[in-house]
Structures are given as structure tokens and as C-alpha cells.
Structure 1
Amino acid sequence: MPKCAYACYNKNEEVRMSSSSGGIYSLLAEKILEDGGEVFAACYDRNLEVSYRKINSIDELPDSRGSKYVASHMGNVFQDVLDSLQKGIKVLFVGTPCQCEGLMSFLGKRYDNLVCVDFICHGIPGRIPWRKYLESMKNRGSELVGINMRDKTSGWSKGKFCWKMTDNFGNTTFQPQSENFFMKGFIANIYLRPSCYNCQFKGIERKTDFTLGDYWGVWNIQPEMDDNKGISLVLVHSQKGQKLFDSVSSSIVYTNAFLDKAIKYNSPILSSVKCSDNRKVFYKRINEGEDFIKIMEDLTRISFKDKLKIRIKRSIKNIQNF
């Protein structure tokens, strides 16, 4: 079991609103940087590819905030982390559970100056679908140069976040996540990496120091914490992690989380998602050169039968709540 489980958020409103959930990663990273350390995290490059970057100053942190539902280029990041650790530099590494496991396997031993942070992972889409999505948008006259997959302008609770997209003409568009075709495919598990459907790194007991995630369901479990701006579920796995959390706790609003209940709303903590029946169809069509958005329009179209089922479920729920 984790040493502690917290429901929490960053008191800094600006940082919190620019983060996917409660803005806790930024506080941990800031503390490491203030102590003369380095942060290794995934950031967008100029082509909106996701790559690991070494961060040396707090001014660079905003680029590493926010969820990026794309497989990242790792480059030589494991070797870079090892080089810094061997020099005695404090390091915070944040990545998927499998990336963190890969780093620790590469290092071969524990380092007291390493803080490893993973997150609750639904699964990671491959880079090809992402590139094809960008290409599809460009073909429709919207060449994207900026993206926030988890913008909170319309809220956070119950998955109300939006995609915020900026094109090469400076136009900014907000799109509900339920209407974005890349997000639809992600949620439907159509193009996650093959290993994500049988992930070996699930569970609440981790070798990392922290597991971070959205505290989905907090509005039902601990509603007093929910203000629709994002709440983090933070699992602390080590004494080193608890010490770091305590050192920044004055900047956090937090309380103990009800982990057993939280897991019910965060099933990816424990189990892999099921592979979509449409995965092979998607890759066949994309490899034949078809347009990404056209494919996703076909594969995510809701049938009349499914629409009827949804309406019936909603009616039953409304009657129960009456």
C-alpha cells in the first residue's frame, strides 16, 4: 500500500489552472530546481512532437505541464539522468509507469538524489495517429502550432475539460474533449501502443516515489474538495517522497484521500484497458493513406441502437435521482 494518499491542489491559482489536475507536479519540480537540481519531463517541440527535455529553471516548467496523449521521444534521457545523478545533482524524473520502470532498470541501483514520479496511465497513443491527426487538421486549413489537451476554461469536474488549439494564423479554438476526434480515438482505445492493452506496471504499489493523477469522482467522494478547477490524487510510495511532499505542503490544500473509493473512478490504476475491435481497421485504413478525421468519423459514429441505450440509462438514472 502507498504510505499516504492525498486529495490536493496547488494554492497558486495560475499554476493550477495551467495544469491538468491540481498542479502538484509543478510544486515538486520547483522544489527540486530551487535545491539546485534538474527536472526531466516530456514537452512539445516546435512540430508538436513530444520529447524529453532537461529543465534547469522554473521559467522552463510551464512547457512540461499538462497531459500529452502521445508517445514521447526518449532520446538519451536515461543516460542524461544517470550522468546528473553520478555528479551528485538532485533529479526529478516524471514519466509513464513503464518509462519510470525502464529508467530504474537502466540505472541498476537506487539513487538517493533521484525522485521518480509516474502517473495514473490510461495508455499512450502511438506517434503515427498523432501525426496523421495534425496532417488532417492542416488539410482542412488549420495548421496547429499550439495545443493544450486538457484546458480548463469550461471546467474540470466530470471530464468537462476542452482542447485548446492555436493555428499558424494565431487563431485559438476551444473544443469539448467529447467532440475532438483524436480524443475520441484515445478514449475508445483505438490506437494505443500494443503493450498498453496488457500493461505490466499497474497496481497501487509502485517502485516510484509518487503516483499522480486526476482525482476523478472526487465530486461524489469528497465534494468539499471539488471546485471544478482540478484536484490531484497523489499516492506517496516512499519516505523520500513523503519528505518532499512535506517540504511543499504549505503551498498545497490537501486532505487524506479515500483510496478504495477513488480507485472505482480510476480503474487504470489497477487494470489495462481493453483493445478496441476497431484498432486493426484503423491502422489498415491509415496505412492506405485515408484521412484521419474521416476514419475517426466512421469508427466513432454512435449507432441508433447505442443512442437508444444511452437514453434509457439516462432516464433510469434521472428516475433514481428523483
Structure 2
Amino acid sequence: MKIALFATCIVDAMYPEVAQATVTILRRLGHEVIFPEGQTCCGQMHINSGKFAQAEPVIAAHARAFSSTEWDVAVAPSASCVASLGHQQPMVARRMGNEALATEAADIAGRTYELSQFLTDVLGITDAGADLGSYFPHRVTYHPSCHGMRLLRLGDRQSNLLRSVKEIDFVELPLADSCCGFGGTFSVKNPEVSSAMLADKVRTIQSTGAEVCTGGDASCLLHMGGGMSRFQRTGNFEGTPDVTAVHVKQTSSTEAGADNADQLTAVVGASDDDHRIPGDQGTQPQEPSQVQSGLRVGQSAVHLARILASTKEDPLRVQSEGATVSGGSLR
């Protein structure tokens, strides 16, 4: 099968390794992968902000790029962008009176799949370990993106593939269907609300004890990874003074009921003063230790395509194995 890679702008600009992993997976299954030149943004950012006139030429550019060559299906490592192609592009083109563009956009959208959707629905892949050789011996939790759940209706496609990876320790994320707070331009226009939602999401990730939080949308992972990194660095969420973070304190083994070994106790509602240097009257928190922050060593975000592409012979490494974490995301 000839597959056109729809890389998406955020993957291309921020996480090219996700696009590379997607290509690796598809080629491993014996397919030819091409990259239509000229692809940029799908226009989702403009459309979500109500900028239909500005979105029209972006939609037209996407249609030109994917009409310039022959392919059977297109695949993207992003539920959000794939949803935008079908849910938004034809609608915007029609609203702008461009019926020809609406028809072309609908045709391209009808042949474009999110990665897990393509693997499961088109290729019938149900066991990533057996069919892809996927191997990732680490504790992993999973965040389903809003567009994947509510627009593409991916259901358990992504999580089922992850569960079938060899040696993975998959743990459910509490309140997984809650938004991470990114929402594209929402996080820019409503930073306080976005950060509060992010704080809740990071708390639930922390509670799993997972080394890695994964998902199918780089934008959500960028947001959550940044939040985890910021919390690990400072012990709180910058820009959200009214949001109480979950701090972790070390209790003495001499306390009543304590074991001989030191215990870690999560304290919900602890004030930011718990992180201040004794005697310091300033407003900057003390640089917290990994114990204080409540984050495991190496806790980070990574796209599910990279986990599916990881094999025993060529494994994806985590921070404790020498991998670099930038902005909370594995690099």
C-alpha cells in the first residue's frame, strides 16, 4: 500500500522523531511511505479561533499538497489534526463559498487515518508485540486526547495497542477522560484555567507512579510534559497562584505507626511554604528534590508511535537509561 505521511505542523516543528517512528512502523509492515511536499498546517488553529477567512488558504494549501501525488491512504500521528480534516475543513470551505475546495478536502479527509485507527481498522493489527515487535519494559500510563475520544471516537484502539506491547507495565490513568487543558489556542487565551486543568492532570499522572505518560497527540503531550517538567523543577505550577499542588513530604520512621523504613506521604493542600528555604522571606520556592516534587525519576511524556516503534533490538530508552528529557518529553 502507498501511504502518504501527514506529519502535522507541531510534529514537524517540535517532535520530528514522532514522524520518523510513524514511518518506521508503516515500513516495518511492508508499506511504501511518501511525504507530500508543501504540507504545512491543517488550519485547525485558525478555525478554532473563528478565523475562517485566514483558514481557507491554509486548507487550500493542504489540499494542493495531498493532491500533487498519488497515494492510497494518508496516515497522521495526531487525532486532533485528522479530526480537523473531516470535521472542520469541508465546513469552512463551504462557509467561504468554495464548494470545489470543500469537495476536495472531504475526499482527502475520507482517506486520512490517525495512526492507531489505521493499524487497527485497516490493517487489523491487534497485538503490537507480535505484529510490530514492539517492546518497552517500563511502567506507562495513557492520556486519551479529547479529539481522539470525542470526534474520531477512537475508543480503546490506542490503549489496546499499548497494552499489547511486550514487557510493558500499563497502568490506567485516573480520570483519563478529563481534558489536559491544552485545547490549542484555549491555553493561550485562558492560561489560568488551562494551567489549573493541567495541574489536575499532572496530579493524576503522578499518582500512577508511571515513568512515562503517553498519548496520540503531540500537542497534549507537549502541554503535559511541560507541566511535569515545571512541577518537578519548582514544586508548583507557575502562573496558577490559586491552584494548590500535591506535595510529597518525607515522614520520620519514629512517627507513630511508621515502618522502620522512611515513608513518603502525599499531602494534598500543602502550601507553597513547604518548599521555601527556612528563614527565606522571598517569594521564590526552593528548588525541590525529586522526592519533594512527587515525581518519579525520569517521569516524562512520549508519543505512543515511539513506543510502538521501540523494539528489543532498537529500544526507546527512558531517562534512567540515559535518554534526554526536554520540556518533560523524551527526546
Q: Same fold (TM over 0.5)?
A: no
Q: Which structure ranks higher in relative contact order (CA pairs < 8 Å, sequence separation ≥ 6)?
A: 1
- The TM-score with structure 1 as length reference comes to 0.28
Higher strand share: 1
